[in-house]
Amino acid sequence: MQEPDVVEPPMQELQVAEYTRAPNTPGHCIFNYCVNESRHRIPECIKVHIFCEYKLYIPNGARVCREHLQGNNWEELPEFCNVTHSFTATQFSDICDILRATIQRATRIDFSVRGALSDDELHFWVGLNNEQLDIILEETSSLTQNCIQPRTTLGIYLTKLRSGEPNERLATLFNMSRRQLERHPSKARECLTNEYVILHLGLDHIDRNNMLERNLTIPRNLFGNEQNTKAILICDGTYIYILKSSNFLFQRQSYSLHKYQNLLKPFLIVCPDGYIVDVKGPYAATKTDANIMQDLMNDDTNPIHFFLEPNDAFILDRGFRDSLDDIEAHGYEYYVPPNKAR
């Protein structure tokens, strides 16, 4: 005797007036009327942010295009999405799993969503607030074009610069493998070097009138003139301390007999108000400030000679004493603390 077919009961849906659910549509972007062909999974951290902020649940099957994923305009999603108040048992279980996993990872940081970290928390990790981080992203369009989550890529790179933590520890902090994490700093460094740095560093990003405006009252009266037509620059070498290298040649070049540590020497050119015009180097620890200045002065193709004019002034310390003749030979003035010899 043939047994009758077992009919499964229909899946019941729960109606919740306070919460909404986005459509489970992998065929197109979750934003209404979006015709972009690219489709990406929505990161779990973004799902949690949207659920907590807007009481909107995003199912696993939902997809988002690259433009909306990078645009970070998630506050518009409740308005530009066909939402419903019905939830299945599977979707309710998925919400619980996401929130439980989020609580377990509560000590880890997330840069992907603007506002997920407060300005104080963000400043602790990268030294910037949310608005400053957005400005960097706006001025580095290649970062947005080449990275699916440019804010995370930039955040990882800045965290690495600020903290100096090893990659293994950062990988745990960002909940990813070490190999996956190591892709982010190299990509961010390449994009920032090619696009962002040249906008804020070097002689090409500033004109002479802007530099003259940065002559403060006291330096202008001491080293300049009443017409304020003399550029005043402060030059000095600083230090970036590094670990001892296993490469013997580099170890010798990076060890400073003055500081008794391994270091590299960036050479800074600064306006009287503290604005950094340019950074040369980094140079070996064995290279003195005077040697660096001699190299700059004796290189006739150096852009500094096309930027400065005769009688412009350098403010230096006694470490530049061996390069003063080279500075004077090019028609520039110098001011150093006096001693008995000179």
Q: Which residues contact 103 (CB under 8 A, 6 or more apart)?
A: none
**What tens digit of pLDDT does each residue of 238-254 get?**
999 998 989 999 999 99
Name the pairing type of β-strands 240-241 and 232-237: unpaired
**What tens digit of pLDDT does each residue of 8-19 get?**
455 577 788 888
Name the pairing type of β-strands 313-315 and 20-21: unpaired
pLDDT in the model for residue 4: 53
Question: How large is the average pLDDT for residues 277-285?
Answer: 92
* C-alpha dihedral, 270 to 274 to 275 to 276, nearest 10°: 40
pLDDT in the model for residue 139: 92
CA distance to 22, 23, 35, 89, 259, per residue, from 86 (Å): 10, 11, 26, 10, 68
In the numeric block, the tokens 């050119």 are attached to 269
Name the average pLDDT for the chain: 86
Q: Are 125 and 163 in contact (CB under 8 A)?
A: yes
Q: Are 294 and 267 in contact (CB under 8 A)?
A: no
In the numeric block, the tokens 């009266």 are attached to 221
In the numeric block, the tokens 């990882």 are attached to 156
Q: Which residues contact 137 (CB under 8 A, 6 or more apart)?
A: 143, 144, 150, 151, 154
Q: Based on DSSP, count helices (H) and strands (E) in the chain, helices before strands.
A: 16, 13
- Dihedral sign computed on CA atoms, order 120, 122, 127, 132: negative
What are the b/e assignments for 286-307, b being 16+ CB within 10 Å?
ebbbbbbbbbbbeeeeeebeeb
Backbone phi, psi, residue 255, to 5°: -95, 125
Residue 339 and residue 336: Cα distance in Å, rounded?
Answer: 9
> Residue 233: is its pLDDT beyond 90?
yes
Residue 215 and residue 40: Cα distance in Å, rounded?
Answer: 52
Peptide bond into 282 cis (omega under 30): yes
pLDDT class of 53 with cuts at 50, 70, 90: confident
Question: How large is the average pLDDT for residues 215-241?
Answer: 91
> Can you read off the two tokens belonging to residue 124?
């602790």
Domain boundaries, the chain: 13-104, 119-200, 205-335
Q: What is the DSSP string of 58-119?
A: --TT-EE-HHHHHHT-GGGTTTSS--BSEEEHHHHHHHHHHHHHHHHTTTS---SSTTSS-H
**What tens digit of pLDDT does each residue of 285-315 get?**
999 999 999 999 998 888 899 889 999 999 9
Q: Tell me the one-letter amino acid at 96.
A: C
pLDDT in the model for residue 105: 58
pLDDT in the model for residue 340: 65
CA distance to 22, 63, 106, 134, per residue, from 153 (Å): 28, 21, 20, 13
**What tens digit of pLDDT does each residue of 90-147 get?**
888 888 887 777 665 554 677 877 777 888 888 888 999 989 999 999 999 999 888 8
Residue 335 and residue 203: Cα distance in Å, rounded?
Answer: 22
- Residue 270's closest CA among 211, 336, 328, 217? 211
pLDDT in the model for residue 71: 80
SS3 285: coil
